[in-house]
Structure 1
Amino acid sequence: MVEPVFVVIRFRVGEAEQAGFGERMRTAVDVLAKQKGFVAARVGRNVDDPELLALTLEFENIGSYRRALSPYEVKVAAVPLLSQALDEPSAYEDLPS
């Protein structure tokens, strides 16, 4: 059985830069949302540290997520933004409950 995967990508962005960063984030999400296997996306700001932003993505499976990063339009619109993420593992699978 192929399991869904969710991705948590965190960024440290100064409050003064967040407006422009938010526009780039929306563009990246729009492009990723068009990829096969995409399920959902969410963007948020940490309540205790307002310079810490998170992008969560959900895909049907790990293969869908990895393939979603390959198209040219994703490399142009999303990969430069994603390269600014904190250097930490980001893909997770659901644990059985």
Structure 2
Amino acid sequence: MLVVNRFRAGEDPAGLRVDLELVHGLLAAQSGYAGGWVGRNVDDPDLWTLTTHWVNVGAYRRALSAYDLKLHGVPVLSRAIDEPGAYEVVEPGGVLNVAQSRVT
């Protein structure tokens, strides 16, 4: 599972970078984390991303329940651009999830 959170730096790009690196470190310490990075758009330097890869959706959701993530991560993640960010990794010929919204 792949999670892409995008952010606008606004007036404090250095502060956003520090925040994203902190949250990335907290996520990387969780069980089921498979990789990730902080990135900045090459054409629009105000646009940043925190991208993480997880063994499955359950691992990601459990990671967000960790105390340190609730305390330090959620306030940063709540500043992300409001758009869907969880993706399944598509393998050639693999069966995909049912194509329907999970919003209730």
Q: Kindly state the Cα deviation for residue 64 of structure 1 after the two structures are TM-superposed.
A: 0.3
Aligned-residue CA RMSD (Å): 1.0
Q: Which letter does structure 1 place at the counterpart of 2:8?
A: R
* Alpha-carbon distance in 2 for matches of 1:57, 1:96: 17
Q: Kindly state the Cα deviation for residue 96 of structure 1 after the two structures are TM-superposed.
A: 2.3
How many residues were matched structurally? 92
Gaps of 5+ in 2: 93-104
* Alpha-carbon distance in 2 for matches of 1:96, 1:22: 32
* Alpha-carbon distance in 1 for matches of 2:66, 2:74: 10
Residue 4 of structure 2: aligned partner: 8
The higher-RCO structure (CA 8 Å, 6+ apart) is 1
TM-score by length of 1: 0.89
Gaps of 5+ in 1: none
* Alpha-carbon distance in 2 for matches of 1:27, 1:50: 20
* Alpha-carbon distance in 2 for matches of 1:54, 1:21: 10
Q: Which letter does structure 1 place at the counterpart of 2:40?
A: R
